[in-house]
Amino acid sequence: MREVRVDPVNIRFARVMEILTVVGLLVMIIPAIGYFMGINQFVSLEEAIKHWDEPAHKFWEDMKGMEISGYSWFLNNLSYTDCLSIVGIVILALTPLISLIVSIPKAEKLYKVLLFILAVEFVIAIVRPLFMHVTGH
């Protein structure tokens, strides 16, 4: 019985994705334990339930008096357990991009171009909110 030939680009993509997913899940869950135990919360759990039926922008206005646009709302508050937990989500959301970039050298010529286009699209998706606000208010 012969071995299955799997494209090397698949293998590299999978390995990077596997590692980053574990890291992202750990970074998301470990601070969340502290958050649910009431340690150093940016959004108080007891306050949150009074506003979680409101649209996202109104929730933040009422909870913190802040207008959300971009990523500073959690990046500037990383000393709080809930914001730290969001860093785990950020790692998970970055995982496919990093896997794509790392895989480009292993790809065939045409796929190098395709993966590069995908990476550029991804970066635009990340930076777009920094210069384009779409919440309609």
Work out how close the CB of 105 gets to another protein at its nearest, in angstroms, rounded to a whole number. 14
- Residue whose C-alpha is closest to residue 107's, from 13, 3, 38: 13
In the complex, least distance from residue 131 CB atom to another protein, rounded to whole angstroms: 11
Closest distance to another protein from the beta carbon of 83 (Å): 9
Here the tokens at position 8 are: 């090397």
Site string for another protein, 12-51 (x = CB under 8 A): -xxx-xx--x--xx--xx--x--xx------x-xxxxxx-
Q: Segment 78-137, which members bind another protein (CB under 8 A)? A: 82, 85-86, 89-90, 92-97, 100, 103, 107-108, 110-111, 114-115, 117-118, 121-122, 125-126, 128-130, 134-137
**CB-count exposure of residue 31 (10 Å: 0-12, 13-18, 19+):** buried
Q: How far is the CB of 127 from another protein (least distance, A)?
A: 9
Going by C-alpha positions, the residue among 128, 39, 20 that lies closest to residue 83 is 39
Burial class (CB in 10 A: 0-12, 13-18, 19+), 25: middle
Query: Which SS3 state, helix, strand or coil, does residue 71 take?
Result: coil
Site size toward another protein, by CB under 8 A? 75
Residues 58-87 that bind another protein (CB under 8 A): 59-60, 68-71, 73-74, 82, 85-86
